[in-house]
Structure 1
Amino acid sequence: MHDRRYPLPPDEDARLQALLDLQILDTPEEEAFDDLTRLAALICETPIALVSLVDDQRQWFKSRVGLDARETPREQAFCTHAILGTEIFEVPDPLDDPRFRDNPLVTGAPHIRFYAGMPVSSPDGQRIGTLCVIDRQPRQLSPAQREALQRLGCLASRQLALHRQAILHAREAALQRALLNSAGCALLCTDAEGQLTFLNPTAEQLLGQSASALKGKPLCSLLDLRELQAHAVRQDLAVPDNADTAFTVLSKATASHQEWNLRGLDGGEFPVLMNLSPIHNDQRLIGYLAILQDMREYQQLEQRLQRIAEQFPGMLYQFVRRDAEHFHFAYASEGIRAIFGISPQQAAEQPHLLFSRILPDDLPRIRESIARSANELSPWHEEFRVRPTPESQLWVEARSMPKALRGGGVEWHGFMSDISERKRVENLKAEFVSTVSHELRTPLTAIAGALGLVINGALGEVPEPLQEMLRIAEQNSQRLTLLINDLLDMEKLNAGKLVFELRRQPLKPLLEEALDSNRAYAERFAVTLQLRGDCTAQVRVDRLRLQQVLANLLSNAAKFTAPGSTVIIDVTQSTDQVVVSVIDQGTGIAPEFQERIFHKFAQADASDSRRTPGTGLGLAISKELIERMDGTIGFTSSSQGSTFWFSLPLAETIHPELPDSN
């Protein structure tokens, strides 16, 4: 609490804080304040003059003339009363003033018989002390002395503000110097003419010379003069003939970051990346700040990366995209020449040139997939065609991983490779499968028909041993027919030739039809089929293709479910999609096989002796068919059974404006 033996200003807390903010209490004497007290004593003809600052317990003298004490208690201070007003506080004779006649400073040393104090203020206007004069005889100031004391008090206030500014500037300068000295890159400062004025320790280490040895020398003396002259010619500037005149070339470099060769103490040169920025004070150029980054390690890394890239069969790249119109290749290996027919530098400077080499039929898909990868931060994988030259065409595979950039945008690191040979082999394989399948279908149909006639007695009664052999032949002909049909379906799907009759229709009748169609097959394994869940969903699908998917899932479930069990079709509907699940009670799918289950020709048991025959194409075809109808397919599995599910969007949520179509 404040001591009430002396009066307090109404804003005492703010006044004390303003005094503390000045950071002047208990500081050494300063000539500027001493000059003010000397002048005050001289003009006012007093033996004592003080610059007194009043805190919560004392008055402390920043400057004093004619007094040995550095401070006195606040309850004895005349200045405590002076700071209550804005004008000079004058006490002609303290013995005649009841406030002071018993004051120890009056009754004892220094025997004050006259006091006049002009309040001094902080920069924010708080009266924090006085410039005061004291005499040992009663008296009054003349008008001229009062005016002088008032003006000197104002000068003292300004000096306090300058003291505060000096502290702030010193603190800022110390912080800046600490930042400069601790920076991990080389920092150099010059004057407006390019003469070195400051180097931080990192710069000294980089140059192998001390700051004292380099101060005053031209910054350009550290660079290769021939390089500066060549740059001047390229920029149509006056060609310098020495380091003293070369700074104009350096200060007018067009690039904010430019690579130069720096000369070390031993005379050898090494590359640095320099950023030269002007320093202004009130819009007046006072110097430059040069930031140097040693590029030797970077060049070594670049050479190592180049050697790795040369061994890679394709191109490595780093692609940065800010938005659909602003993107660039931060890095591209030399392999870009073979794939796109352009150089890494062209890709960096003209990224649109690379995209112009992609075939127009593929380009919209590529742009869309890049945008999707950027939005979802999902891996980017595409296969597309490019023309490195007008006469040639390649198939290219690209893979990369995205990463969000802190300042906005996305960056991908990845590779591209020429897969033209692989595509050629795939096309040959597809043509071979298609040709063989078509060629086998006709004779196989004849064989199956002939076997059926013989088994049904068209040629007379068949002996019992022969019937078993004919039955085996008929079963295998049926399996071969299924395989050929699956191969032809897969070939059509891959070629985009499979026709889809997409129509808006209720889902439940389609599920009931699938149950009816596959019930007889399930009964062969002593398995029953059951539909669970009420469904009113309308979907937009091809009925026959959906029946093909359901037949595959139901037949698989029946084959792998124990006799006497039930296979369930479960239906759940949400606001935008419906999920159909086929649930069996088998032994589940082996973990090592699960990741390949939707691959072509994938079978958990590929031996000739497996209990459940199949082509290994059913699930791969089902996946393609569901995805062509805008759905997704998946499964879950445990030792107690498996659930294969597919989801379809409701007809109302996917292109409701479209009519039924192929």
Structure 2
Amino acid sequence: MLIASEPENERSRLTLLQNLAILDTPPEEAFDRITRVVSQVLSVPIALVSLVDENRQWFKSRVGLEAQQTPRDMAFCAHALHVADVLVIEDALRDPRFHDNPLVTGPPNVRFYAGVPLRTEDGLTLGTLCAIDTKPRVLADGERAALMDLARVVERELLNRRVNAHSRVVWEEERQARVRSDARFGAIFHETPTGKVIVGLEGRFIEVNPKFCEITGFTADELKTKTFREITHPDDLHDDLVLMAELQSGVRRSFSMEKRYIRKSGESIWVQISVSLLHDESGAPDHFIGVVLDITDRKKSERVLLEYQEQLERSVEERTQELVRSQGTLQTIADNLPILIAQVDSELRYRFNNRVYLEVFGIEPAALYGQPVTATLGPELLDELLPFFQRALAGERVTKDAVQYRSNEERIWSATYIPDIRDGEVAGFFVMSNDVTEQKRIERTLYDKAMLDPLTDLPNRRALQDRLERSLQRVRQDPTPFVVLFMDLDGFKAINDVHGHDIGDELLRHVARRLSQSVRKGDFVCRLAGDEFIVVADSVPTEDIARRIADDITAAIAEPFALPVGALTVGVSVGIAFGCENDLTSEAILARADGAMYEAKRRRRNAYRLADG
């Protein structure tokens, strides 16, 4: 088991963690809500907000785990402190850092782990937001993005604690500064890296530090002529004034809020502000002191996350409403959907079928209740689908394409199997099967069009590339070579020039048909471009066989072609290259055949030549 090294800023990190006063505190809904969303979005049994202390990792929030803490030496999260965005362990048993970790070899039997570091704005990593599964898996791009966005929300909650803690520190500093010299207070006030302000009871700025000037865009002298009301966004002013009034009336001792300032440039900027009311020696209200952080970038990310969370909550609410509807309503809805819908229990018996089962299988849905799936699925189809059933019963959502329920029908279905999870256990699965016959027909038509030469209806260059790759793959298993015959017509240009392109195109169509008739059954014929054709012949063990194929081609092409302008004659030059297991690319084989063809054309027309090597 590999123990994670300490971060370079370990002392500062631990100091901040202690100052936040969050360790060993009771659960809080703000954090628990996030781990619940992680568990739902990623469909994992365990989700944690983990804080890495000096000798342990302690869980501020946890879903699916009884333990409150584990030793730091065992912690996956200790490794995540060093990564930039997400640490993903797809299978811990295969990872040399964790394969013998007690958390992997024993409860909770970690197999999959994804942890996003929780960082402060000054780069201190306090822990992680992590998702854990007891089986290996891959983290999808959408899941990674959602986990990172949720981690930013956790960081925001930690930031609130830091700001409040900082506000209390500043309040104490200010109280002590009243007793100490004005010079020392000034140093504390002006040199800290957060915006700080002292505001009079009437709302006017008395003192501002350089960071606050940077945030608002005003100089210190300009701010001292203004009140906080003048630079607060109008939509946020009411809440700000209510909280300030509650401070003055003694209802609260301090408050923290998010609001917008209007910068000198006129643009709005989001800030997190914590305000306390200080009193004089007699106990009367004296002035306000505030700590201000620029959170504009965080608010942009938060807005995206909130929209996503609202969408998720709407989806959950809609699903909940559907589940509480009457069985009759569900049956009516299911019966009117043009898909096969069924519920199957863990013993592969039907618990629900919609009306489409009558159309497809000729069996009333009510008659299928309690019957095994063999009532509709034949033995061969059951063997084909059983692995998908088993994956669904293991908790995985899976889809099987190209399902043919009836062997005497051409209808093709795409079936999705969704685990039926109740109280954390898989009770069975749901079947959602769509008729994709027309879709597959269209896809096949589009594919065929993309792979055919429109003039001759022979396969085109793209189809040739696919065939060569398959031939190369075959010879790596079976050493019997294949041959590529590269052909270029002799005398075609003259016919084109004399009789025109229409006659030339008609001649090419005749050549294509004659080529297809002259080669062996199973040989591949394609038009490469212009008057160039290719034949790929598999399983050609000797040069004699290759020569016979070439002889048949040259003899067939040499016969006159009957065309509207009369009988026309062309020849063909053929280059032959053998493809074997030592060939690395289809381009190399084509280049050899092309070179041999030009050598044949140079020596004499309507002939062939074998490529060297």
Task: Answer yes or no: same fold by TM over 0.5.
Answer: no
TM-score in terms of structure 1 length: 0.27
TM-score in terms of structure 2 length: 0.29
